[in-house]
Structure formats: structure tokens, C-alpha cells
Chains A and B, each alone.
Chain A
Amino acid sequence: MPGKYHIETKEVPPRFNAVGRFGIIDLYETCARGCRNCVKKKCIYDIHKKEFDFAHSLDRPTEFMNECMNCLMCVQNCTRGALTRTQNPEYTWLGNEYWKPAIIAGIWKMAATAKLPVSGAGYGGPFSGPGFDSMWTDMSEIVRPTRDGIHGREYISTSVDIGGLPSNLEFSPGGELLGEESPVIELPVPFILEVPPLGQISKNVLEAMARAARGMDTLFALDAEDAEEFAAEFAGWLAPRVKNSAIENHAALIKSVRMVCLEDSPDALDAVACVKAINPGAVVRIRLALGDGVEARVVELVEAGAEAIQLSADINGDIAYSDGRVEFIKDAFRRIHSLLVDKCVRDRATLIADGGIAMAEHLAKIIICGADCASLGIPFLVAMECRMCGACSRGVECPVNMSEVPPEDGAWRVMNLAAAWRNQLLEVLGAMGIREARRLRGEFGRAMFCEDLERDTFQKIFAGA
């Protein structure tokens, strides 16, 4: 039996202090000065002392420390009531309406420590919500195939395959396999890294992601021109995004990699043939933007032999249709997956989800909705401390200087985040009693959708439906 897959991690503190949610404000004029009961000395987390030392160090005079644990003990016990807690406005400016501040702050923590988020008290968020928040994963109470999956004896695999599987094998009378074997890449994690569509993508950032892809034995999709630069060291883990017109220009690069990425176009299948002519062992991914008519095109491509298809929504997971409808990526995947199952061609191609995957739970949920794996860019950029503030797109200086990310530390932070996400995926798989990520794909029955539950419960009772 092969050894258990494991993502190496290393604690890497941030270059810039993370933006904290709350701040303790000291109303200094109210302070009694010299009070022997000063609550700051009694903080069990020693935050006030650390903050004092931090504020008086010459290294980072313009930052805040932001490590308050929010217990309110100092605020509530100060003799003069001189302390108060407020929301940090900078925190509320992080991200956007989808990439909420809590998501970004959570990624930063995981990227620094590799620990999966654990906390006390019950869940404090909304009952349900749009997008991925409208589904829950199921669990098994007593009867379950996996025993002690996460803490003990049985191994839960997160491996997935990229590539097409033939629906049947044909053999000659002499027992020889007929036809060509399709290339399949086995990735130990259900995601590939991808250059995100936003942010300051410096050479250092690209190198960090390439290093992380190698460290985790997954793939990193980046423009072929950039890939050329890193091919010497990382070719086995690069998936160059090649323009149809430039395939011949990158022939040497294509020969050296395991996967090549193309954009969909009317002549996409011809382009695939060109790539295969150069490197028959490479899996070719075709990327389609989700939207009008994409289902029919996916079926057409799969039936014509496409082996890996990436379906992209926008960064928030939304898909805009020409009639004004907006659909979320999970719903599109459920539909397309089901369609391919109905056509009996689902296993002929790998479906890769792109867009709106911001948390580990989203990864599990998109797989349940029919994706084989996901392509992730923004989470790893945020792992390297991007604040999604848009400064770079406005031509303003990046507040965290992404061009100076040390590639090695950046790679560790990417791997830390990936490890934390993988561990969370194991938690979900373990709770469901499912032993491998491959089997999670399209398991709608192991999820519970809010609309179904509302219909079967409250709508039935209160609207008589």
C-alpha cells in the first residue's frame, strides 16, 4: 500500500500584520494613570503588553497589531471604564460582497499556521444564504463504511484523476488492448493552482505557486510565456495556457508538461489534435466560460473526445446569461453533471470548476455538485497576503507589496492553506463516511439543499404545498 499522502507545512508569519476585526480603544484621558489594578496587565493573552512592545518597536511603526482575542475582560473590568471595543473599519473594506472579510481573514490564518479553523460556541452565521450557503452536507449516524477516518485507522484519499476514461475497453482475440490508452493524471488533491484573474501577479508570486504545485504534486496553470521561464525547474507541475495560434511556438514546453490548457474556440478540437501531435501523453484542458449554450457545447466537446473541461464562472461564482438571469456555479455544475450522466458520457471527461471557490467547504460542495476538482487562484493569492483591495487595478501601490513576496515563504503559505483545506475536506468526507474524494463527485444524495428542505418542511406545513 502506498504511503499516506501528506502536505508538508511550515509556520510562516505574515510579512504585514493581518487586518483585525476589532480594535480595543483606550480612552487615555479617562485613565486613572498608575492604577494598581490595571486590566492591561491581567490580559490572559498578554495582548496589551505585546501591543505596547509592538507599537514601540522601530520596525513597523505604522501598523496595528490586531491580535485582540475579543474577550472584553479589559473593557468590562477597567476601574474607570476607559477601554472600549470598536469595529475596525479597515477590516470591513477587505474583499467584496462574496469574498467577505471573514473569508479573507480565515485564509490568512490558515496560510500562516496550516491549522484548520477550530473554535468554541455554535455557528453564528445566517441560517442559510445564497450560493454555497444554501446547501448542507450530510453525515452518517451509526452505519458508515469509514471508521475513525480522520484520526485513526483508515485512510481517506483526496486523489482525483484528470483525463478521460473510455466507456469500455476492447481487446483483440489475442488479448491485446485495442485502441490508444488515454492519458490520465492522478492528482493527490482535488485542485489545481491557477493564475488568478486579479491582483498583482509578480514573478515572485508565480514562482511561489510553481514551488507549491511541486510541493503538493499538483499542477499550476499559467500563461505559456510565463511557463517557459519556469519550465527548467518545474515543468512536471506546470500546465501552460497556450493560445491556439501559438501552439507550435511552445512545442518544446508542451513536450515537457503533463497538461496543456486551451481556450474553447470553434477549432478547439483541432488545437487539441495539434497539442497531441506534439505530446500524446499530455492531457488537454479546454476552458469554457459558463453562460448561454454552454451545456450543449460541453456535451459536444465530450462526445467528440475532449478529456478535461474547465468551466469558469466569475470570481464570485456567478454566471450571467443574456436574458439577465444570474446563476451560481453550483447550480450550473449540478445541471451539466446530470446531463453528462444522462448521456452516459460523464466519465469520458474531467470537469474542473473555476470561480467562487473561496473556502474549503466550497471545494467539498462543488465536488458534490458534479465537479471532479477545482481550479484555485484567488485563495492562494490571498494566502500570500493579497487584500483584494483593487489597488493594483487602480494603479495604486500594493499595500502588501505582492511583487516582493519571497517565493519560498509564499510557497509555504500556499501549501499551508492547501493543507488546512485538505484537512477540512477530510473532516467532511469522514463525517459522511466516504473514503475518497472521487466518490464524492456528483453525490447529490449526500447533500441537503435548502430549497428542497424548505419545500418539504415549512412550505408543506405553512403553504400546504
Chain B
Amino acid sequence: MSPSQSSPPDGALPDGPVPDRRPLIVFAWVWVGAPLAYGLYELVQKATQLFTG
């Protein structure tokens, strides 16, 4: 299922126009992805010491 699709498991389709949730999805993933990327960057910096230290 693509991120742009709405996906209630019951498959119910809305009667009126569906709001575009894509900006909200992008915002939400950046919100959690940015600090995680920082943590991973710091981790990689430290892990390389195994091969260089």
C-alpha cells in the first residue's frame, strides 16, 4: 500500500473528498527521522574506531 493511500483495514471509503495526508506523513517521518539520523551518524563515527583504533 502506498503512503498516499488512506488505509483503514475495514476498507471503508469516505463519501466526500479525502484530505491529502502526504504533507503530514512527510512531516511526521522527518520529525522522527532527523534525530534518528543524528544518532546513527554518531554511532557510525564511534563504530569506525573498531577498525581504526
User: Is B a genuine binding partner of A?
Assistant: no
